[in-house]
Structure 1
């Protein structure tokens, strides 16, 4: 099937950054202007923009925009280096669980240091830095398209006698969570493009409803066959309907393959294991953190209680009720069939070895 032009969460040209305000979706389509790192921090923290890849790109480009407009204020290379480093480290604090912003900050800072020795002209230094930051846009799109192709092929191989596949996904992992195409939803898009998709089930994803607000918005826009379920219906769905795979995204994957993703992912993985349904994690290598050995080392973000007790400002819970609202959970590696990256699909137990090997063979500062 043909799919319409994907939605864009990020619109950028040098000196200008607009993000689609996902707090307003699906009722309104409103773009917010991001002019400073502080603007981006607020947008990320309040979840006007969300999705680990999109957070990183938004953060990086916000620094690029602020640097571009304040370039006349810098009189030395060292002052630029300090400004960019401080801004990136500040943006990391907006949401601690996703690793992509941390990875992007390290990549840029590692690039800055040798550039400092090579380029001594302030104007040329800024231009080279802006060129480098802007590469994050295309890289994310390219990675997502590769993830889609590798993931679709892996799922097809597991069900060779089936042409039309039915899958389940959780949260939002599409164009609204990335620069474009998506990770887990990118795999689903690719199945649809290849005419291999029968139906996509997706959860509403309580308490923030990224499924019912955002994934629904994307699937309707792209005319991809779909059915929404409540989070609590997944067990019955797996027992009574044919599912060929569960595909989710990731905010951070550790060296052993443990995966932090939207709250509710862990229980889906347990259910999939019991019902013998392949469970895939789709994530770019920027979401893989080899400095963390297991999921026990990941900080889990705690969100405001109002996200559970209200919907669009309307109270739905007894006043004064006590709330526990972790934004993410950890899925142990033994529940994961494969981790879909832009370089291929890896078993959790081989992930670290494969990535280290790739880092040795691919000479790219953006790997």
Structure 2
């Protein structure tokens, strides 16, 4: 009997609440929680119950629509003022992933011309749903372009989770693996565990197994040996922000993989939608890097693994310089090294 596989989803709109896959509980529990207030949405983003730049943007968009349903104001101007306050509140939840701000600003723009409160509420709901539907189509297109760079039996290394639960569906860096499974193309994936929050072991390994993909888990410090010993043919990662010159912020540890890819002379690919580009920044030096709670490093599952009082440096992201990136895969096509500044500018003309 053929075993059926599914591509998981992380966010669903249910009229008066958001159903959210609690990614903090994976892989031991598959639990969907209900977000009913803008505070619930803010907390879910900050605590990493939802993570992945596109999924954060989608959740925030639904959160703004959800908040607006309960505004008790008498004028459309007061409505828009409250909406801007909630936009700013949700924007404070994570500083690095640009999709958050892109989605929130798109939501606010959607009601600029609204003349009544009911019209504004309807427009916000429809806009949030559109953002999610568009993201699914975008991710599939990214997956198609990415899959064109691989051949059957390739062995590909990835880090963190840029998959279906980090987006509307399919993912970015993981999209080619889901599509390869659909098309009967054999790709072997090696997933770095991704310390300190273990998105690779908890999320990517779980998601790819759900989809029936051949996946092998490694610890982060096994990457160089794995590339050599297993014959890794490429590295593919997602992105949280890409600047005008192609510098890319992604989960901490990505920069190290790019250096290894160059040392082993294998391609290093970034997969990301246009919503992840921030052309207001000229280079990665301008990207704000979130630093998180030291306990993510000193504790695992609530148990201390480091000395009391130890100094901790816990950046959530690093920046990979554009010269280490072989290509950036978008829904509009593949951008190649040496052409990033011009090709990125052309995308946003």
Mark the CA change 1:256 to 1:278 in structure 2 (over 3 Å): closer, same or farther. Answer: same
**TM-score when normalising by structure 1:** 0.90
Q: Are 1:316 and 2:317 matched, yes or no?
A: no
Deviant stretches of 4+, over 3 Å = 348-360
Distance in 2 (CA, whole Å) between partners of 1:107 and 1:355 is: 20
Q: CA deviation at 1:246?
A: 0.5
Q: CA deviation at 1:23?
A: 1.1
Question: Equivalent residue for 1:237?
Answer: 226
Distance in 1 (CA, whole Å) between partners of 2:109 and 2:217 is: 43
Q: CA deviation at 1:126?
A: 2.1
Question: Equivalent residue for 2:60?
Answer: 59
Q: How does 1:111-190 map to 2 (within 5 A)?
A: 111-113=110-112, 115=113, 119-156=114-151, 163-190=152-179
Question: Equivalent residue for 2:103?
Answer: 104
Q: 1:256 touches 1:348 (CA, 8 Å); kept in 2?
A: no
Q: 1:257 touches 1:349 (CA, 8 Å); kept in 2?
A: no
Q: CA deviation at 1:13?
A: 2.5
Q: 1:36 touches 1:63 (CA, 8 Å); kept in 2?
A: no
Q: 1:338 touches 1:347 (CA, 8 Å); kept in 2?
A: yes
Question: Equivalent residue for 1:331?
Answer: 320
Question: Equivalent residue for 2:8?
Answer: 7
Mark the CA change 1:19 to 1:346 in structure 2 (over 3 Å): closer, same or farther. Answer: same
Distance in 1 (CA, whole Å) between partners of 2:213 and 2:280 is: 38
Q: CA deviation at 1:350?
A: 3.3
Q: 2:13 touches 2:19 (CA, 8 Å); kept in 1?
A: yes
Q: CA deviation at 1:124?
A: 2.3
Q: Are 1:254 and 2:243 matched, yes or no?
A: yes
Q: 2:111 touches 2:123 (CA, 8 Å); kept in 1?
A: no
Q: Which runs of 5+ in 2 are unaligned?
A: none
Deviates most, 233-242 or 273-282: 233-242
Distance in 2 (CA, whole Å) between partners of 1:174 and 1:16 is: 24
Question: Equivalent residue for 1:25?
Answer: 26
**TM-score when normalising by structure 2:** 0.95
Q: CA deviation at 1:345?
A: 0.9
Deviates most, 246-255 or 32-41: 32-41
Q: Are 1:292 and 2:276 matched, yes or no?
A: no
Question: Equivalent residue for 1:200?
Answer: 189
Mark the CA change 1:237 to 1:346 in structure 2 (over 3 Å): closer, same or farther. Answer: same
Mark the CA change 1:3 to 1:199 in structure 2 (over 3 Å): closer, same or farther. Answer: farther
Post-superposition Cα deviations, 1:123-163, rounded to whole Å, max 9, x if no partner, equal 2232123212221110111111111001111334xxxxxx3
Q: CA deviation at 1:105?
A: 2.0
Question: Equivalent residue for 1:363?
Answer: none
Q: CA deviation at 1:241?
A: 2.2
Post-superposition Cα deviations, 1:174-209, rounded to whole Å, max 9, x if no partner, equal 122112111101122223323333310010111110
Q: How does 1:27-106 map to 2 (within 5 A)?
A: 27-68=28-69, 70=70, 73-106=72-105
Mark the CA change 1:128 to 1:111 in structure 2 (over 3 Å): closer, same or farther. Answer: closer
Q: 2:242 touches 2:276 (CA, 8 Å); kept in 1?
A: yes
Deviates most, 199-208 or 126-135: 126-135
Distance in 1 (CA, whole Å) between partners of 2:141 and 2:15 is: 26
Deviates most, 342-351 or 13-22: 342-351
Post-superposition Cα deviations, 1:293-341, rounded to whole Å, max 9, x if no partner, equal 0000011100111111111101111222211111100000000011111
Q: 1:60 touches 1:88 (CA, 8 Å); kept in 2?
A: no
Mark the CA change 1:78 to 1:310 in structure 2 (over 3 Å): closer, same or farther. Answer: same
Question: Equivalent residue for 2:260?
Answer: 271
Q: Report how many residues are paired.
A: 348
Mark the CA change 1:144 to 1:3 in structure 2 (over 3 Å): closer, same or farther. Answer: farther
Question: Equivalent residue for 1:345?
Answer: 334
Question: Equivalent residue for 1:225?
Answer: 214
Distance in 1 (CA, whole Å) between partners of 2:97 and 2:127 is: 22
Q: 1:166 touches 1:197 (CA, 8 Å); kept in 2?
A: no
